[in-house]
Structure 1
């Protein structure tokens, strides 16, 4: 029996932490291959990491949002690409399943190895409504983990056969289309700075028929079949909670490496050991405070949003707070990651040291939409009370 795979009865964060030795061992190889290794994929499936958010009615775990954040953070601590892949797949599959007919969703994700990868939203695709479904054409990028999933997905606005926008629920209809990876043309273009192991390739479909039951409006209240709090909160903030937790895990790993280095290293710029340098001591304390505060804010906001959603009382204020916590957390984690890398001096640039690869991962994660400052500006407008079209919450 693989000792790296904990029993399913263990809590999800504990199962994630138990995978760390395996992820540590395979990290450099996943970075080199630009994909998760088969051994790690197998271990993730055996630990049931692809169904953390899937509805219980479909055989999933549907865990609490704070427990989910801790699980993704633990995976990110071990390997950022794995944490990123698991978050992307969980949110994509669970929110899609929650808006699909139950039997369709069960047939797609009932098994523990059926993940879903998803490319970024854009406005250059077409989804023409036809009898029984849609004819989908487009190219999407950033399908994190898509080399290991059975299913791919893509967002697209929909059109009538004459090309005019299809209207539904009083606005232009936007759908999430799910199809087999084998039905798409995959482009191996993931040549990047960090998060290399996600294998986030681009993919194309041309005039692909996608049936109605696999084309949910996953965040539309009118189509949400599952009523649990996770699905009320919706995909955007679930993604944000997971991705911010990945960055916290990476930053914590870099911080731990910095502390370990400081305990035994003499800086060339100082005759004293790092451990007795007042500036190092102060910096370590400040980094600990920043990471702990950011983490606590995310968990507090996630708890409040989850409990409000469970009680049927989720408000814009709850959503705004979680948006602020996750965006702030990603930026705090980025700053701490940079600080730890710089503090490590020349040690940090060595492949043999624990800094270089994780620093690249941290920098790549920092460029994601979820970390962008316009989110903070939106929160500020909400607090002030000025006209504020609410987006991305």
Structure 2
């Protein structure tokens, strides 16, 4: 008998209005507005995947994936950059749940709303083995939200052993990491996806784990369901959710512009509205199906997990973001010159969905290859 995943009561409304109000300022600054950052803990995103109370530590909700996707998309309607940070704060806490118990106790010593940033793909830097741990030096790009994080996860190759280098993830407090304002992108401009550097910092042995744990999920029998699923099953899903919200926001902005032009009776406008709204709804169905698949897999013993499930989720996320880009592209082309204004939420959504679609986990070639490999292998059995 399976147990239902817990309700997590995410509250995207706690930040959406602020995110919309400060979207332009966040873009200009290259990071979220301070008022938006201050509102993030109240949203529940950072604690969504934090383990429940254990060992006297203030626990999180160990929530599910379907609710997270919908909540991130709701924030994305107001500001995709804010939604991106919300998704990553949740996702990075799930990664941190793979750390040994003493490290988890440090990360969440003050409560479950610890903001965690990460740069774990690709690995970078170098390690030196020392008594009690390792010393880390290096440079990592695209650490979204690092400037206002409490902790940062960084990945490197550990060649201290006799065999092949090991892909190791380490947790460092924010004060041990230098953040360099290098993020100047066309889309997702407010995410502060800057470069970070570390200069010969000591990391205790207990503050690291191997990437292999991400690929298999936490094997502890007492682990929450959301921690038992592999990274490949859910990574692309979480990255895609902000694009769903941005596309919905684009549709709302386009509809408002059509009303201003008194164009509701134009057959071309009607056809664009029908087609784009259907494509956005279809993309939402794909993502909700993938999220439900992840929630079901979370309740399945790890040994019974089917790799094909991850391939289907990767396929669905890649196809969904492609549909969203196509819909927003069509909306932008038909919106008229008013959509070109820097204050237009439509042009911002147009830039943001393209930026999301450029992420490595959402590339159609890689997802198609993973899915086709499983299909053709099954056919040959």
Task: Give the TM-score of the pair, scaled to structure 1.
Answer: 0.85
| Cα distance, 1:314 vs structure 2 | 2.4
Find the residue that maps to 1:233 and give its secondary structure: coil
Find the residue that maps to 1:385 and give its secondary structure: helix
Find the residue that maps to 2:323 and give its secondary structure: helix
Residues 209-264 of structure 1 deviation map (CA, whole Å, 9 limit, x = unaligned): 21121111241649654632322223343332221111000011001111222233
The correspondence of residues 341-360 of structure 1 with structure 2, limited to 5 A, is 341-360=332-351
| Cα distance, 1:43 vs structure 2 | 1.3
Does the 8 A contact of 1:109 with 1:115 survive in 2?
no
- Given the superposition, is the C-alpha separation of residues 112 and 244 from structure 1 closer, same or farther in structure 2, using an over 3 Å criterion? same
Does the 8 A contact of 1:250 with 1:362 survive in 2?
yes
| Cα distance, 1:80 vs structure 2 | 0.8
Residues 360-382 of structure 1 deviation map (CA, whole Å, 9 limit, x = unaligned): 22222221112212212321232
| Cα distance, 1:182 vs structure 2 | 1.6
Aligned-residue CA RMSD (Å): 2.5
Find the residue that maps to 1:154 and give its secondary structure: strand
The correspondence of residues 1-40 of structure 1 with structure 2, limited to 5 A, is 12-13=9-10, 15-40=11-36
Does the 8 A contact of 1:53 with 1:62 survive in 2?
yes
Distance in structure 2 (CA, Å) of the matches to 1:211 and 1:300? 40
Task: Give the TM-score of the pair, scaled to structure 2.
Answer: 0.88
Residue 4 of structure 1 corresponds to which residue in structure 2?
none
Distance in structure 2 (CA, Å) of the matches to 1:89 and 1:46? 13
Residue 192 of structure 2 corresponds to which residue in structure 1?
199
| Cα distance, 1:387 vs structure 2 | 11
Distance in structure 2 (CA, Å) of the matches to 1:259 and 1:125? 48
Residue 104 of structure 2 corresponds to which residue in structure 1?
105
Residue 82 of structure 1 corresponds to which residue in structure 2?
82
Residue 307 of structure 2 corresponds to which residue in structure 1?
316
Residue 297 of structure 1 corresponds to which residue in structure 2?
286
Find the residue that maps to 2:152 and give its secondary structure: strand
Find the residue that maps to 2:355 and give its secondary structure: helix
Distance in structure 2 (CA, Å) of the matches to 1:224 and 1:129? 27
Residue 68 of structure 2 corresponds to which residue in structure 1?
68
Distance in structure 2 (CA, Å) of the matches to 1:100 and 1:238? 19
Distance in structure 2 (CA, Å) of the matches to 1:11 and 1:50? 11
Residue 273 of structure 2 corresponds to which residue in structure 1?
284
| Cα distance, 1:326 vs structure 2 | 1.3
Residue 270 of structure 1 corresponds to which residue in structure 2?
none
Distance in structure 1 (CA, Å) of the matches to 2:238 and 2:75? 10
| Cα distance, 1:352 vs structure 2 | 3.2
Residue 4 of structure 2 corresponds to which residue in structure 1?
none
Does the 8 A contact of 2:14 with 2:39 survive in 1?
no
Question: Is 1:381–2:373 an aligned residue pair?
Answer: yes
- Given the superposition, is the C-alpha separation of residues 211 and 245 from structure 1 closer, same or farther in structure 2, using an over 3 Å criterion? same
Residues 301-341 of structure 1 deviation map (CA, whole Å, 9 limit, x = unaligned): 22123213313232112211111111111211111121111
Greater shift in the superposed pair: 352-361 or 120-129: 120-129
Does the 8 A contact of 1:88 with 1:239 survive in 2?
no
Distance in structure 1 (CA, Å) of the matches to 2:259 and 2:252? 11
* Match among 172, 180, 203 for residue 179 of structure 1: 172
Distance in structure 2 (CA, Å) of the matches to 1:287 and 1:261? 15
| Cα distance, 1:25 vs structure 2 | 1.1
| Cα distance, 1:72 vs structure 2 | 1.0
Greater shift in the superposed pair: 231-240 or 210-219: 231-240
| Cα distance, 1:52 vs structure 2 | 1.2
- Given the superposition, is the C-alpha separation of residues 152 and 222 from structure 1 closer, same or farther in structure 2, using an over 3 Å criterion? closer
* Match among 209, 214, 222 for residue 219 of structure 1: 214
Distance in structure 1 (CA, Å) of the matches to 2:204 and 2:193? 26
Does the 8 A contact of 1:48 with 1:112 survive in 2?
no
Distance in structure 2 (CA, Å) of the matches to 1:375 and 1:220? 16
Residues 40-80 of structure 1 deviation map (CA, whole Å, 9 limit, x = unaligned): 11211123321111112351122111001111111111111
Question: Is 1:370–2:370 an aligned residue pair?
Answer: no
